[in-house]
Amino acid sequence: MGLFDLIRSELIDIIEWIDDSQHTLVWRFPRHDNEIKNGAQLIVRPGQMAVFVYEGEIADVYPPGHYELTTANRPVMTTLESWKYGFDSPFKAEVYFVSTRQLTDLKWGTPNPIMLRDPEFGPIRIRAFGTYTLKAVDPKALLTEIVGTDGQFGADDVTTLLRSVIQSAFADLIGSSQIAALDLASNYQQLASTLREKVVERIDDEYGLDCPQLFIVNISFPESVEKALDTRTSMGVIGDMNKFQQYQMGQAMMAAAEGGGGGGAAEGMGLGVGMAMASRMMPAAGASPVAAPSAGPPPPPAADAWYVAVNGQTKGPFTSDQMRSGIASGEVNGQTMVWMAGMAAWSPAATVPTLATALTASTPPPPPPAS
């Protein structure tokens, strides 16, 4: 300390704290050799308390107000009766100011997921985060258990401890609440209220702190679980999957018909989609019209497996019923190249007796002559 600072400290007789940090819990008043003079003015503002520490022991705690430290008010210093000279001469003591207002915008979260046994999904991992406020309610306990001799002690110095307390209390709460995972969001307020009570029980008496407000902002699941839930929701919205697939096939056929203009590529696409749709919608011979479960294996290809050449590519195999459906819809005509087992080479459909009959039947006879 320089000479000017030393002289100025000898003349200063006002002990006060003007806090502009917004996140300071405890601040020690700087005094040369910790000497306090007779007649010193102690100013404790609203939201503060002053703590006198003499020879390592807490002597007294002052609530908000204006005090003149003289021999006349010596009874205020309840535990300083052993002072031989009272305030007639400088005495050495430390003065700590403790902020009793709420420190806001403090955040908490679960760095590691918490396992939850859900009645619907089974074991599941969840994470949570939120905000809380902090307030000092017992300056003696706060100084004794946490602050010690620190000249300045802020919220950042205690947040690690508070977060650990909140995380532990949240794990206990979520495990005992027996609330289904999908119902957690509708119980945020109730869970937050119970969680705050559990946290206050752990920090009030031991550390002299209070948690006036605590909020749960979000409880989330792992990304893979959220995707599975989205898929499950989508399936529930779609409803009947068979009808949805039939609708998709119909849309694909309309798109192929509108975009191809009747070319070979459009014919091939329409034939493939049409045959698949016909195969799905037509019940098997002698079977119930109810669609078979999609989980079963597909039936083996029939002996009369036809293949169709479209733009140099082989499409198929198709059954005779599917080929007749293609002929009826105009997707297979007399020039369409076809092949099946037993044929020597690809041949036009009109030259194959089995298909020629169907082609002839699908071609209307010439109109009658005009009368």
pLDDT in tens, the chain (371 residues): 454 454 444 444 788 888 777 778 888 888 655 566 667 788 999 988 998 887 778 878 889 999 876 544 433 443 344 344 444 445 567 888 888 888 888 899 988 888 888 777 778 888 899 999 988 888 888 888 888 766 777 777 788 888 899 999 998 988 888 888 878 888 889 999 999 999 999 888 788 889 999 999 998 887 777 677 667 666 666 666 676 666 667 777 677 666 654 455 445 545 555 555 555 555 444 445 455 445 556 655 555 788 998 888 888 888 888 888 888 888 888 889 998 888 888 899 888 888 888 888 766 666 677 65
110 Cβ neighbours under 8 A, 6+ residues apart: 127, 128, 129, 167, 170, 171
- Cβ count near 77 (within 10 Å): 18
pTM of the model: 0.53
User: Token pair for residue 64?
Assistant: 């908000």
> What is residue 200's three-state secondary structure?
helix
Q: Report the 10 Å Cβ neighbour count for 144.
A: 13
Looking at residue 263, its amino acid is G
- Residue 322: give the domain boundaries: 241-279+302-362
Judgement on whether residues 150 and 207 belong to the same structural domain of the protein: yes
Q: Is the dihedral of CA 172, 177, 180, 186 positive or negative?
A: negative
CATH (domain of 274):
3.30.1490
Tell me the two tokens of residue 79: 């535990």
Q: Which of 40, 75, 99 is the last residue of a domain?
A: 99
Identify whether 195 is part of a domain: yes
Q: Are residues 81 and 52 in the same domain?
A: yes
Tell me which residue of 143, 134, 129 sits closest to 51, measured CA to CA: 143
Same-domain check for residues 113 and 193: yes
* DSSP tag of 144: I
- Looking at the domain assignment, is residue 286 inside a domain? no
Angle made by CA atoms 348, 354, 356, in degrees to the nearest 5: 50
d(CA 211, CA 142): 14
The answer on 107 and 221 residing in a single domain is yes
DSSP structure class, residue 195:
H
Which CATH number goes with the domain that contains 152? 3.30.479.30
Residue 233 lies in a domain: no
Taking a C-beta distance cutoff of 8 angstroms, is the pair 144, 179 a contact?
no
Q: Are residues 325 and 252 in the same domain?
A: yes
Distance CA 166, CA 230 (A): 30
Report the Cα–Cα distance between both ends of the chain, in Å, rounded: 130
